[in-house]
Chain A
Amino acid sequence: KAGVTQTPRYLIKTRGQQVTLSCSPISGHRSVSWYQQTPGQGLQFLFEYFSETQRNKGNFPGRFSGRQFSNSRSEMNVSTLELGDSALYLCASSLEGQDPPGYTFGSGTRLTVV
């Protein structure tokens, strides 16, 4: 079955712009989590959506937002981009009640802010 698909793979934006990233989870997975990965901070949790509702949220400013659609696809949006937002953005999907629990990650979107 298809894995987690993230689009686009690469993105270059200018400071002050906004960006939208997309994530399609594995079919049947209703939980989608987003992470930011940078060399200095490692993998940082952004938020998790389940059945179109934000279930968990990390410690990121309000410029970072997300949503989930009825087909479980998720988008995250970053407004007023800053240079420090340059990172690999990863989404991961999981199956509720899966045993053992675990995530399947996408390949990520590499965002560069110039």
Chain B
Amino acid sequence: SQKIEQNSEALNIQEGKTATLTCNYTNYSPAYLQWYRQDPGRGPVFLLLIRENEKEKRKERLKVTFDTTLKQSLFHITASQPADSATYLCALDPNAGKSTFGDGTTLTVKP
């Protein structure tokens, strides 16, 4: 069956460092992969999308890579700030309207 794993439930880093989150999937051939941010008690907020034919996508301090051979995506936040503390979710969307989400990684950036 299809499965998504986000390697760490929690990640703690120091302000200014680069946070790297991992998303692995099995039994999928996704057309694209999405990353979302979720704050406590709120809905996820869309951050970035990367397509299967793209290796890397950047947006300000965010960078996403997509390796379809390894079936893995890495999500980087450079120069991290306490305001980046949140849960980050990856999602695969092989069928429109039916994304499959990972369980998320909770990032805490300490000042």
Q: Which residues of A contact B (CB under 8 A)?
A: 4, 31, 33, 35, 42-43, 45, 48, 50, 55-56, 58, 88, 90, 92, 94, 96, 100-108, 110
Q: B87: shortest Cβ distance to chain A, in Å?
A: 10
Interface size on B, residues (CB 8 A): 24
Cα distance A103–B100 in the bound complex, in angstroms: 12
Find chain B residues with CB under 8 A from A107 CB. 41-43
Find chain B residues with CB under 8 A from A103 CB. 44, 46, 99
Q: Which residues of B contact A (CB under 8 A)?
A: 32, 34, 36, 41-46, 49, 51, 89, 91, 93, 95-104
Chain B minimum-CB-distance residue to A94: B97
Find chain A residues with CB under 8 A from B98 CB. 33, 45, 48, 56, 58
Contact of B96 among A31, A43, A104, A106 (CB under 8 A): A31
Are B102 and A42 touching (Cβ within 8 A)?
yes
> Assuming A56-B95, A101-B49, A104-B46, is B100 touching A45 (CB within 8 A)?
yes
Are B43 and A45 touching (Cβ within 8 A)?
no
Find chain A residues with CB under 8 A from B41 CB. 88, 107-108, 110
Find chain A residues with CB under 8 A from B96 CB. 31, 48, 55-56, 94, 96, 101
